[in-house]
Structure 1
Amino acid sequence: MFNIDAVPNVFYLIFANAFTPMSAVGGFAGAALAEIIRWGVARGLYSNEAGMGSATIVHSSATNEHPATQGFWGVFEVFVDTILVCSVTAFLILTTDAWMTIGGDEASNMTAAAMADVFGSSLAGMIVTISLFVFGFTTVLMVTYFGEKQAEYLFGHAASIAARYIVIAAIFFGAIGSLLFVWSLLDIMLALVVIPNLITLVLLSGKVKEATTDYFKNQFRQGHEKVTEKQDRYYQ
């Protein structure tokens, strides 16, 4: 295992600097704790889309015996994306000290530098390039699908076709536009999506609780009993 001896210190850095941020390191030098949390939450939402309501467009097209089943898949995907993938990336950067050698204004290069420290520059560059291409391409497909389905629901099939061209134009604009302006615009658009969705979640919390309780009392128990019956027949 590479740099396994540095893992305990990584946990210390994460928890210590979460509440007493280092003023000399990172992209938020001298920022208050509230500002750091604000940026962390915003970037986290870009990663897992929790609370945005967009993933429900895909989940709603799935077929399950109980709605709570698909809900748990939604929870699972957030866990994999944030707790596993993002945490592994953070551990890689912290264990190789890439965060100390690269400034916050070049934070996008930290992952590549950390991988280069472990795998070498050539292999690291290939891994990062392929990963960025796959992540970017799948994100474009996802956003296009979301845009099409929302436009189709609101304005009909013709609007879904127009939505494709809007997405293509947005991709081009994002590629040539100022990074600071793009992030600021995305933050505003994110708030416009999250706020009404969170209000809706609060209003529907009773139904969510009802469905979850029903799942564990009935569906989950029945499924467990069916599995037990199959196991009993197998071992007889």
Structure 2
Amino acid sequence: MSKLNDILALIDGYIGGSSWFVYLLLGTGLFYTIYLKFPQFRYLKYAVRIVRGKFDREGDTGDTSHFQALTTALSGTVGTGNIAGVALAIHLGGPAALFWMLVTALLGMTTKFVEVTLSHKYREKTDDGTMAGGPMYYMKNRLNMKWLAVIFAIATVLSSFGTGSLPQVNSISNSLFATFGINKVLTGFVLAVLLGFVIIGGIQRIAKVTSRLVPLMALIYFVGAIAVIGYNYENIIPSIIAIFSNVFTGTAATGGFLGAGFAFAFNRGVNRGLFSNEAGQGSAPIAHAAARAHEPVSEGLVALLEPFIDTIIICTLTGLVILSSGVWTEKVDNQFQTTDIVVMDNRYDEAKPEDQQALHDFLLGHTTLPEYTGDLQVVDGKVQNDLTIIHARSVAENVRVLENGAPYNGTVSVVNGVIPNNVSLAFMGKSLIHSAPLTTIAFTKSWFGDFGKYIVAIGLLLFAFSTAISWSYYGDRAMTFMFGSKAVIYFRIVYVIGFFLASFTDTTIIWTLSGITIALMTIPNLIGILLLRKEMKAEVKSFWVEYSERFPEEHAPVD
């Protein structure tokens, strides 16, 4: 599994994890923000009015209302990225990573406005009478680049697993196991059955379910987050300062956190920001294509709200919960994941500045340090070798090796610092943690105490399950585009099976895979919307002319 993760990480390093991808994503959002004169600020109040149906006209075609399209798209974005993704970004890049998530969201509001508008304009009615849309349709119908549309559609199918199915149920099963001790296989089976029941009903059932789930899960999560932030009120200002003060310098080592440089915080913040709100990825336009609307810009304005709700509100809450509680720098007892372990060939003391700096540079990839190859000698569960074990980018303490729950006696082979996966052996100890478990511990630092972890477990269950529902629809629209409506049933079967299997698969590999599939969707979509910049500007101008004629008293923007 470690070798597979290394291969996937190498691939991700050239695309989603690369600097050029980050600049393409932010650059597109920045270009359209200036080109369209900051629509994320000027149009925000009109977006709220359109969601409430003010611009609707009798006879508008579509399968869902504006609100249902918004909640369906939100259910696709509000998921593990808001709970586990924020925690992972802070774990990797420090508080500054949250700043770059917010920047990504602000620019992403414009990007999503553009991609949804263009996709809605070129949607089609399928042979089963439902609406189908998304970037693949403007690529085919407007750009006459069917080859690019096919690349996007294939990437959408892959991403429905890498973004919507695999990491979602994985986070759910990990959280429920850590909180309630529920077997991961049982969790996967029950949720797979429920998922199958919902997605068989198509977009109308999906929209009905998500329009009820999204407000409920947001309320539950909001109450829990405010309880943590309020309980740790003295840390609110220092947390906000930490987010902004180290934006260009990186975060220094503190507690068990060995520090992060600017480049790492920037890249991980943008990458996790995209995973959270999916602006530019081209997924939300598929949900919005089903909305009843006669004017594509109106649905684009509805979509403009998504990154604001998803990242600027919910992710900021999660970030402040993690930072104000202080758990992001604290080592806790946990079971190590094999793919997060690195066995060093020397002993390092993080209390010594020179050792701390050496490990800092090593983790950031600035230097190399000797990694151990050989056998670990284990007696009564304790490693006898005089060396350091790194887990979750921190120096592990009190490491214990268990076999089927009992102290292990014997040897463990290590090759270049990597411990081969062995289902019968478990490594335990104190280290930093990340993803959903980190957020779970943060939620216990409130007036609710240990009950806070139940809020995360329930919130994650609702968030992630609704994301899996929405992404099943994105995948089946991509299959419809390539093979017609008859292919959808086969996709749904594989989707549900994959959802079940991912409930007990290694988390690190799933997160790495998700980064790759996100990039494979985003790159073709960004190229497409940049090519249609003049058409987009013309559409916006036309929309405001109609809006001003219908509502002259509102003094709508003139572009």
Q: TM-score range by the shorter chain?
A: 0.7 to 0.9
- State the shift of 1:38 in Å: 1.8
Of 260, 272, 276, the residue aligned with 1:43 is 272
Distance 1:32 1:227, change over 3 A: closer
Q: Deviations over 1:141-187 (max 9, x none)?
A: 01111111110121012211111122123323432322222222221
Kindly tell me: are residues 185 and 95 of structure 1, through their superposed partners in 2, closer, same or farther at Cα, counting changes over 3 Å?
same
Taking every aligned residue pair, what percent have the same amino acid on both sides?
31
Distance 1:144 1:212 in 2: 31
Q: Answer with 78-87 or 183-192: which moved more.
A: 183-192
**2:440–2:457 Cα contact (<8 Å) kept:** no
SS of aligned partner of 2:446:
helix
Q: Residues 131 and 214 of structure 1: is their aligned pair in 2 closer, same or farther, counting only changes over 3 Å?
A: same
Distance (whole Å) between structure 1 residues aligned to residue 518 and residue 528 of structure 2 = 16
Partner Cα distance (2:476, 2:543) in 1? 32
The range that moved more, 38-47 or 80-89, is: 38-47
Q: Normalising by the residue count of structure 2, what TM-score does the alignment of the two structures yield?
A: 0.38
Gaps of 5+ in 1: 229-236
SS in 1 for 2:543: helix
CA distance 1:194–1:84, shift in 2 (3 Å): same
The 1-side partners of 2:254 and 2:283 are apart by 34
**Distance in structure 2 (CA, Å) of the matches to 1:175 and 1:76:** 31
> 1:89 matched to which residue of 2?
318
Q: Which residue of 2 aligns with 1:20?
A: 249
User: d(CA) in 1 for partners of 2:234 and 2:259?
Assistant: 30
Structure 2 partner of 1:114: 442
Instruction: Tell me if structure 2 keeps the 8 A contact 1:66–1:219.
Output: no
Q: How does 1:213-228 map to 2 (within 5 A)?
A: 213-216=541-544, 218-225=545-552
Tell me the SS of whatever aligns to 2:293. Answer: coil
Q: One-letter code of the match for 1:168?
A: V
> d(CA) in 2 for partners of 1:152 and 1:116?
45
Q: Kindly tell me: are residues 142 and 86 of structure 1, through their superposed partners in 2, closer, same or farther at Cα, counting changes over 3 Å?
A: same
- RMSD of the alignment, in Å? 2.4
**Match for 1:152: what amino acid?**
T
**What amino acid is the match of 2:552?**
E
Aligned residue number for residue 295 of structure 2 = 66
Question: Does structure 2 conserve the Cα–Cα contact (< 8 Å) formed by 1:27 and 1:107?
Answer: no
Contact 2:288 2:299 in 1 (8 A): yes
Specify which structure has the higher proportion of helix: 1
Shift of 1:226: 6.4
Deviates more, 1:23-32 or 1:180-189: 23-32
Q: Which has the higher contact order (CA 8 A, sep 6+)?
A: 2
Unaligned stretches of 5+ residues in structure 2: 1-229, 332-430
Residues 48 and 78, structure 1, Cα contact 8 Å, conserved in 2 = yes
In structure 1, C-alpha distance between the alignment counterparts of 2:448 and 2:459, rounded to whole Å: 16
Q: Say how many residue pairs are matched.
A: 227
Structure 2 residue 512 is matched with structure 1 residue 179: no
Alignment match, 1:233? none
Q: Which amino acid aligns with 1:19?
A: F
Report Cα offsets for 1:27-56 as digits up to 9, x if no partner.
984544223222222211221111111111
Aligned to 1:159: 487
Answer yes or no: is the 8 Å Cα contact 2:251–2:261 preserved in 1.
no
Cα deviation, residue 131, structure 1: 0.4
Q: Match for residue 194 of structure 1?
A: 522
Greater strand percent: which structure? 2
The alignment partner of 2:479 has SS state of helix
Separation (CA, whole Å) in 1 of partners of 2:265 and 2:329: 18
Contact 2:277–2:307 (CA<8 Å) still a contact in 1?
yes
Equivalent AA in structure 1 for residue 240 of structure 2: F
The farther-off stretch of 14-23 and 55-64 is 14-23
Output the CA distance in 2 between the equivalents of 1:147 and 1:107.
25
Partner of 2:464: 136
Cα distance change on mapping 1:72 and 1:110 into 2, 3 Å? same
Which of 124, 132, 137 does residue 452 from structure 2 map onto? Answer: 124
